[in-house]
Structure 1
Amino acid sequence: MEKLNFLLRCLLFSLLISETFAVNITIYKFPNNDDDDDNDNDSLYVTEEEIRILEVLVQDTADISDLTLVATSTDEDIFRIANESKTFSVTINETIEIGILGVFVGIEDIKLKLERGDDLLMNVTQVVKVKRKDAIIVAIYTWTLTAWLVLSYITMGCKMDWRIIREKLRRPYGVLIGAFCQFIIMPALSFGLAKLLNLDDAAAIGLVTVGSCPGGWLSNVFSLLLDVDFVLSLTMTFISTVLALGFMPLNLYLYADKFVGDNEDLETPFFDIMIQLVSLVIPVLIGMTILYKLPKVAEICLKCLKPCAVILIIISLGLGIPAQFYVFYSDWEIWVAAACLPFIGCFLGYSISKIARMELKSSVTISLETGVQNSLLAIAMVGISYPKPESDLIGRVPLLIALLTLMEGCAVTSAKVIIQKYFWKSQDEPEDVKEVMEKEDKHEMMKEINGNKNAVLPTVSVAVQVGEENFTNGTTAISLDNPAFLED
């Protein structure tokens, strides 16, 4: 009797299984002519404030009636079901049209549940990607950002006198510590913050991308404003830009690929990134060529640096905030990550340099070069290398870091000016590149004189008065054959 009951249960269970799997749901994405990016057959692309149609066909090999289809969005802040009801009565072999309304840029799923009464027969998930609406202001902002980036690297090249770099590389402790902090500490720090704050995959990749970037123009500006080692800052930025050709793809491979998940569009486009990094060397070489071949033009470029930088900052902020306003709706975890990465990076850079017994100005410079990564490069790189909406989702972090870094740097600079003016007045003036070059020229002349035993040293004549007599015709000439008099 027990064996008979067991056989009947197995038979009933097999019938239920066959009835359940006899139902098949086929999803057809209604085509949209303006979707050139719809190369992903597994995803449905929707633009903000627009509706796309999802066609669902329920097919059946058995006679099943009283079926209902329930459609739900995993996040209605990203997209919503546009139909009046989310429950649809199913007729076998007839198509059901489900409207998908894009609300905000993001990637979520639509869940389709096929039910009969209280029984769940099938559960199907479809990926929905919501893209931002195209706007002219976004294109203008992108071109302005590109011009800013190119101009910053040309300007850096105009300052890159080889004598300055050579002098810093003779004792490269600061450069080596900075490179260690930029390409070893910062990528690991960004990865740790992404894991600690449990960021979504796109935001985590954006954070790691910024952490893997070299130093940039903004760190040079803050080094100049804070009156630290400006020459070391320039040298570190140049060296880190060259080292980024190898270290940045390596760090992205080690850290960013761990957040790709099931979305293939989040995979790191290593070839595109390498092309962009190599192309950054071209503006630097142009600037160095201008410095050596056309020094007067280089001097004019340096004089125009500050007004041009101010204009570009105003334009970028004026266009960037309305063009990229969506980043202000980011989750609090993204805001915390964007604020903590540069701050902790500066703290670690300063701490490591002080442990290495670097002097104060060099330590502050290394701190700035570590924490103030080239977020502008990350923004441009993400926008070019990744498809939409992934590029917008990844770009949230670099945009916020650029904004918060600028605010933090301005706050520190303002505090420094106030303290120096009212509480501690320093008489040391910052040395610009021209003064450093003049000192380097003098230093080279001294080395040539001291190294040449047959060199004719300059003679200085001094008139001497003895007692009350003034020896007009018999003025004593004293030759001071001491190279030390050549110094200031």
Structure 2
Amino acid sequence: MQYFLLCAIFGATFIAMAVSGEVDNDRLKAPVWSVQFEYEQLNMTMTHSQKVSFIITGIEPSWNRDFELHVWHDNEAVAYVDRVETVFSSGDGETGMVKGNFTIKAVLLGYTQVYVELQRTGYEAERSQQSMKVIVTRSMTLLDMIFNISVGCFVMVIYVNFGAVLDLEALKRIVLCPVGPVIGLFCQFMVMPILSFLIGYYLFREMIELRLGLFFLGVSPAGGSSNIFAVLLNGNLNLSITMTAISNLAAFGMMPLWIFTLGALIFRDGNFAIPYKSIASISCTLVVPIAVGIMLQQYAPEVTKRISKLLKPISLLLILSITFFGCILNSYMFKLLSLEVLIGSCILPWLGYIIGWLIATGLRQPPKDAITIAIETGIQNIGIAIFMLNFTLPQPQADMTTAVPIANSLATPLPLLLIYFIKLCFCRKGEKAVEEESPNKETELVAIMEKGQEQETKKFPQ
């Protein structure tokens, strides 16, 4: 009896699965008709629109034009469809045909799929198997070119100033006893790559592009703005310039090492190359203006004195102007900044500052050197990271991934600028306190002297 009962249960289960499978097959049954778009893949730039024609064939005569046609898209934030126009034309007697066109408008970086749906009265809508892929990228404008050129010129002037105030004797001592640069290299190419990998793994586990963006940022060498902050925060400028130069040279070997080890875990089948030319050009642009500044220091000392007075204000102006105008020109990027991107972009440099300072302080480095090592550790070369992403990934993924380095460029200077302004305020208050105390001390001293004279006159009257 039990045997027959088990057979009946298994039989009922099998029939139920078969029936549900038939229902699912009917539900997933592909439509008879098909659509052909003018483009298989449409490449557009932001804020532009494009008219696209399409032809639908294989419509059953029984439909008798009693249906509605809709053109849909997957991601309205990237692009949306507007003004659909259709013209019904009869076919060969057995099937019908529809010709039409629609306008698609690009909004933001990314990609979306456009497809067609036909819906008869009383029936579920049928979605086309064919679709058109739309890729939206950005175009380089005249303002972008002007901004890039002006920033380049500004940076050249800053590095000429660096060379003009560079202490050559202190630089020799650093080279002969490179304790600071060795600590900086360890923090830059051991701590930061591992840190960026772990942060990306836990924050962007399912978003490979963002993990890659953060990792490429972590394996990049030190950024040039570290020298500027070393000046603003009274760090060791000689050590900062030496560490930046060594970091950019070491990147030739360390970047491939990390990309082919931890990077292989992020994407195994990606074809990418290390931008050796970019690293070399950055090293040259760093060395040439510094050499010009050293020549001015040797042959035009009067000019050097005038330049050195403008170093801090020009450095601060450069950082603020790059941040402000960069945000305006790349305002579209703010739409791509998710909470995870912002958190990851803040954690990486801020932890870099803390870890770099702790390691340098634990190894008994002077306070100025510890500050410099912390700055060099936390500030990455964003230009190299963006270049690598653009070289590695197709568009628009490359531009979308650069949201991580751009968010990092906004988050990196925040704690340093905060420390600078706090220091500036406290220094001014301290100077005022000293000025207020000094006249009080002078009056007290005068009163004591007058009292002494009175006592002397009483003892020894004339």
Q: TM-score, normalised by structure 1?
A: 0.66
Q: 1:108 to 1:144 in 2, by over 3 A?
A: farther
- Answer yes or no: is 1:52 the counterpart of 2:43: no
User: For residues 408-431 of structure 1, what are the alpha-carbon distances to aligned partners after superposition, in whole Å with 9 as ceiling and x for unaligned?
Assistant: 211011223444565799x9xxxx
Query: Does the aligned pair in 1 maintain the 2:184–2:243 contact within 8 Å?
Result: yes
What's the secondary structure of 1:319's corresponding residue? helix
- Give the counterpart letter for 2:144 in structure 1: V
What are the superposed Cα offsets for residues 277-334 of structure 1, whole Å, 9 maximum, x if unpaired? 1112222332354356554468646535445435544543453232111233322222
Decide which of 166, 175, 185 is 1:179's aligned counterpart: 185
Summarize the alignment of residues 432-443 of structure 1 with structure 2, pairs less than 5 Å apart: none
- Once the two structures are superposed, the pairs formed by residues 123-202 of structure 1 within 5 Å of their partners are 123-132=129-138, 135-151=141-157, 164-198=170-204, 200-202=207-209
1:118 aligns with 2:154: no
Q: How far is the alpha carbon of 1:26 from its aligned partner?
A: 3.5
Task: Tell me the TM-score normalized by structure 2.
Answer: 0.69
Say if 2:359 is the partner of 1:352. yes
Aligned to 2:273: 270
- Structure 1 equivalent of residue 110 of structure 2: 106
Q: Deviations over 1:379-401 (max 9, x none)?
A: 57767887754454233333332
Q: What is the aligned partner in structure 2 of residue 415 from structure 1?
A: 422
| 8 Å CA contact retained: 2:78, 2:112 | yes
- The separation in 2 between residues aligned to 1:339 and 1:139, in whole angstroms, is 28
Partners in 2 of 1:293 and 1:415 — Cα distance? Answer: 36
Aligned to 1:287: 289
- The aligned amino acid for 1:242 is L
Q: 1:385 to 1:17 in 2, by over 3 A?
A: closer
Residue identity in the other structure for 1:246: G
Q: For residue 372 of structure 2, what is the aligned residue in structure 1? A: 365
Alpha carbons 1:45, 1:130 under 8 Å: kept: yes
Deviation at 1:28, TM superposition (A): 2.7
Separation in 1, partners of 2:353, 2:360: 11
For 2:166 and 2:172, the matched residues in 1 are separated by 10
Q: Which secondary structure state, in structure 2, belongs to the residue aligned with residue 72 of structure 1?
A: strand
Q: Which runs of 5+ in 1 are unaligned?
A: 30-41, 428-488
After superposition, the C-alpha distances for 1:50-91 in whole angstroms (9 at most, x for unaligned) are 3223444445499885787654333212211213699x9997
Shift of 1:94: 4.2
Structure 2 unmatched ranges of 5 or more: 1-10, 435-462
1:324 to 2:334 alignment = no
1:24 and 1:261 mapped to 2: Cα distance?
37
CA distance 1:276–1:423, change in 2 (3 Å): same
2:37 matched to which residue of 1? 27
Partner of 2:460: none
Alignment of 1:9-28 (within 5 A): 20=30, 24-28=34-38
Amino acid of the structure 1 residue aligned with 2:78: I
Worse-matched range after superposition: 367-376 or 109-118: 109-118
Which stretch shows the higher mean deviation, 59-68 or 126-135?
59-68
> Match of 1:275, as an amino acid?
K
User: In 2 relative to 1, CA 346–18 (structure 1 residues): closer, same or farther, beyond 3 Å?
Assistant: closer
Indicate conservation of the 8 Å contact 1:149/1:376, yes or no.
Answer: no
Flag the 1:402–1:16 CA change in 2: closer, same or farther, 3 A.
Answer: closer
Give the distance between the partners of 1:102 and 1:27, measured in 2 at CA: 17
Aligned residues: CA RMSD: 4.5
Q: 1:290 to 1:424 in 2, by over 3 A?
A: closer
Q: State the AA in 1 paired with 2:145.
A: A
Determine if contact 2:113/2:132 at 8 Å carries over to the other structure.
yes
Partner of 1:35: none
Q: Using the alignment, how far apart are the partners of 2:154 and 2:260 within structure 1?
A: 28
Cα distance change of structure 1 residues 313 and 98 upon mapping to structure 2, 3 Å threshold: same
Seen in structure 2, the aligned counterparts of structure 1 residues 286 and 191 have a Cα distance that, compared at 3 Å, is same
The total of aligned residue pairs comes to 402
Distance 1:243 1:140, change over 3 A: same
Distance 1:424 1:174 in 2: 32
Residue 338 (1) aligns with residue 348 (2): no
Take 1:298 and 1:397, find their aligned partners in 2: how far apart are those partners?
Answer: 44
CA distance in 1 between partners of 2:347 and 2:180 (Å): 24
**In the alignment, what sits opposite 1:470?**
none
Q: Is the 8 A contact 2:161 2:293 kept in 1?
A: no
Secondary structure in structure 1 of the residue aligned to 2:380:
coil
Matching residue within 243, 246, 259 for 2:253: 246
Mapping 1:368-407, distance limit 5 Å: 368-378=375-385, 389-407=396-414
Give the superposition deviation at 1:350. 2.1
Q: CA contact under 8 A between 1:157 and 1:284: conserved in structure 2?
A: no
Which of 212, 225, 232 is equivalent to 2:219?
212
Distance 1:83 1:368, change over 3 A: same
Preserved contact between residue 232 and residue 362 of structure 1 (Cα < 8 Å): yes
| 1:97 aligned partner | 101
3-state SS, counterpart of residue 45 of structure 1? strand
SS of aligned partner of 1:270: coil
Specify the code of the residue in structure 2 equivalent to 1:208: F
Q: Secondary structure at the match of 1:104?
A: coil
The SS at the match of 2:136 is: strand
Aligned to 2:74: 74
| SS of corresponding position for 2:248 | helix
Looking at structure 1, the residues matched to 250 and 425 of structure 2 have their Cα atoms a distance apart, in angstroms, of: 37
Output the CA distance in 2 between the equivalents of 1:115 and 1:236.
67
- 3-state SS of paired residue (1:130): strand
Report the secondary structure of 1:342's partner residue. helix
C-alpha separation in 1, matches of 2:30 and 2:391 = 46
Whether the 8 Å CA contact 1:113–1:123 is kept in 2: the answer is no
Overall identity of the aligned pairs, in %: 24
Letter in 1 for 2:80: R
Q: What is the CA–CA distance in structure 2 between the aligned matches of 1:313 and 1:355, rounded to whole Å?
A: 30
CA contact (8 A) 1:105 1:132 kept: yes
